[in-house]
Structure 1
Amino acid sequence: MQDYQDDTLLRVGPAGKIPGLSEKWTFLFGRRRRATFVEVGAYDGETASATACLADFGWRGWYIEPVPAFAELCRQRHEANAVTVAEYAVSNRSGTSALYVGGALSTLIKQQVEDYARVGWARRFHKGEEIVVETRTLDAALSEEGVPTGFDLLVISVEGAESLVLDGFQLERWRPKVVVVGADDPDGDFATNHRISATAASVRARMISAGYVEPYAGETGTLFVDLSWFQDRCKLLEANT
């Protein structure tokens, strides 16, 4: 399969988690079709998605979404794409857990729902719906789905449960090249929320200590890149200019 010759990869919707994402993806990954991603907390596979454009272009993808209705929407959205939609939540253990359903803000963390209730734009998402969902660790999920080590992109969008996801994930084993984490701490609405800020700080410390750099942090997402891989990528780009 050849590198693409048009601008398909550049067409990232304006509701994406990171501004200028199309340019960032092009810089990091080039114009490639042979690549893989995993998105934890896929919702409908379209709204604020960092990966829908990649799936549309031909990347192999794995979406993980625990709410049955949302998982079905994701399947429908990507019916023509080379993706798998797995229907469970990712946490620090395999088993079951309560999940608080609130559209794109669904979460395993009850306190997160309480925090959303204090924010005008967010409180409308949660109406008191709670379901029990199956959980797996990310290690177990990746192994079960047959995801290769060293895959290209991991997106974690789990509304406050980021630490739970990373607790069940051997980062050194899987070593994704790029990781996007939907951390809320830079957002003005959550900047004074010590729990959310502490979660984001913990995630950041884990990633940095594992050899990742943080080229971007914004209101709804933080981008981490494997430093060693990034240095090699920059050398390649420099050699080709």
Structure 2
Amino acid sequence: MDFKFARLQYPKDLDWNLIKCRVNKYHVKSIFIILSLGSCGFFLVENLHQVKDGTWNNYGIDCDIVQKYLKGELKDEFNYKDMQIQVQHLMISKDKTTIYSTFEHRPLLNCLEADHPHLSHVLREDIMIKPNKSYTYYNLRDENATEFNTKHAQQAKDVMEMIFKDKRNGFFVEAGAYDCEISVTLPLEDHYGWTGILVEPMPLTYNLCKQVHRQAHLIHTCLGTKDRPYFTKFDFESAGDVMMSNTSAISTTAGFASQERASVIEMQCFPLYSLLLALGNPTVNLFVLDIEGFELAVLESIPWDKVDIEVLDVETDLAGIFQKDSSREKIIKFLDEKGYDRFSHRNDFNKLTGKYQNDLFVRRDIVKKFNVKQIY
């Protein structure tokens, strides 16, 4: 099947009534039909709620039709256009900082299975930022950020001392990489030559990530909770508030939206399995999962028989607050059934939530291989 790419630019005063955005039962059209408009470039959407078709109906692309074609159930030939739709978003944060961001929506990808070759190609070649080996130094605000004695590096220190014993050239996935400097995996990368995938959805911190010069792939997205890519509401300011008492609450960092407000925009999330396939489905020595309360949903979406994940470091203190059918106990039970033993981190008590923040899960064959013991 030949995927064709269309990059279209329309004038700002475009009359949306002139644009057709439908897929009929006989063929899959490109999302938008040009009526003598524009030249090559990117199609820019400034306010999705002003258009007839958008994320709410996958920009008019019917995934059922696409799937029927891919399965050979439709006999006619089709040309699919993998539209790259640039969505601009302006947000004023609580501290009055103006955050101006551009996101790419590619609705055709939502119709593809997690292991489709085109999806792997797009993630690897178009969406992920590859590590730039020409950089021989990190661009850090804190010159000690790579050391194991920092607060955020305690998890990495436990992983090395309890499990991998100075293992070199490992592979990680860090979901919730923040600014890539306050990062669990940075010391592993700097001291032991690890690499991997850094996943960060927040525009401001993602842009900071790009400046650090990490030697790992970087992607501006959210980890999906489904087995295909999809659009979902994501809150760039906070996943929500956590009540500390009857009168006080703390706000978490960005996450899946729990309410409608100006900081919420539709993001395209991708399954972890798709991200791994884009890089050849490597063994993941360490999977750091810190996505503000939706960890169980991501874990449940992983095809465990198709991936090789040795160790997981999962934030569990927000489980059950935003994803209501989750809890720390459910996460522990789920991973126990998948063959993982739980270990505790040292110095991990979160005074803000009044709970231990993270749990370490080691696959039982790795426990045996490295003779993993709890240390205090």
TM-score (norm 1): 0.74
> Are 1:87 and 2:87 matched, yes or no?
no
CA distance in 2, matches of 1:172, 1:201: 23
CA RMSD of aligned residues (A): 3.2
After TM superposition, give the deviation of residue 9 of structure 1 in Å. Answer: 8.1
CA distance in 2, matches of 1:41, 1:134: 16
Q: Which amino acid aligns with 1:182?
A: E
CA distance in 1, matches of 2:253, 2:147: 30
> Are 1:204 and 2:341 matched, yes or no?
no
> Are 1:32 and 2:167 matched, yes or no?
yes
| Local SS of the residue matching 1:15 | helix
Equivalence for 1:146: 280
> Are 1:53 and 2:225 matched, yes or no?
no
Match of 2:312 among 176, 179, 183: 179
Q: Which amino acid aligns with 1:115?
A: V
Alignment of 1:164-175 (within 5 A): 164-175=297-308
After TM superposition, give the deviation of residue 100 of structure 1 in Å. Answer: 1.3
> Are 1:76 and 2:204 matched, yes or no?
no
CA distance in 2, matches of 1:117, 1:128: 25
CA distance in 2, matches of 1:12, 1:92: 34
Report Cα offsets for 1:77-97 as digits up to 9, x if no partner. 2x1x42011111112231111
Question: What is the total number of aligned residue pairs between the two structures?
Answer: 210
Match of 1:155 among 282, 288, 305: 288
| Local SS of the residue matching 2:251 | coil
Alignment gaps of 5+ in structure 2: 1-144, 255-260, 349-355
Q: Tell me if the contact between 1:43 and 1:74 (Cα under 8 Å) persists in the aligned partners.
A: yes
Report Cα offsets for 1:160-195 as digits up to 9, x if no partner. 11122113212232231110011106xxxx89x696
Greater Cα radius of gyration, structure 1 or 2: 2
Q: Which amino acid aligns with 1:100?
A: D
| Local SS of the residue matching 2:362 | strand
| Local SS of the residue matching 1:222 | strand
In the superposition, relative to structure 1, how do residues 202 and 73 fare at CA in structure 2: closer, same or farther (>3 Å)?
Answer: same
Q: Which amino acid aligns with 1:86?
A: I
> Are 1:115 and 2:239 matched, yes or no?
no
Q: Tell me if the contact between 1:162 and 1:199 (Cα under 8 Å) persists in the aligned partners.
A: no
After TM superposition, give the deviation of residue 35 of structure 1 in Å. Answer: 0.7
Equivalence for 1:234: 371
CA distance in 2, matches of 1:147, 1:174: 7
After TM superposition, give the deviation of residue 153 of structure 1 in Å. Answer: 0.4
Equivalence for 1:110: none
CA distance in 2, matches of 1:115, 1:124: 7
Structure number with higher helix proportion:
1
After TM superposition, give the deviation of residue 124 of structure 1 in Å. Answer: 7.9
Q: Tell me if the contact between 2:172 and 2:185 (Cα under 8 Å) persists in the aligned partners.
A: yes
CA distance in 1, matches of 2:243, 2:295: 16
In the superposition, relative to structure 1, how do residues 140 and 116 fare at CA in structure 2: closer, same or farther (>3 Å)?
Answer: farther
RCO higher in 1 or 2 (8 Å CA, sep ≥ 6)?
Answer: 1
Equivalence for 1:4: none
> Are 1:222 and 2:359 matched, yes or no?
yes
| Local SS of the residue matching 2:344 | strand
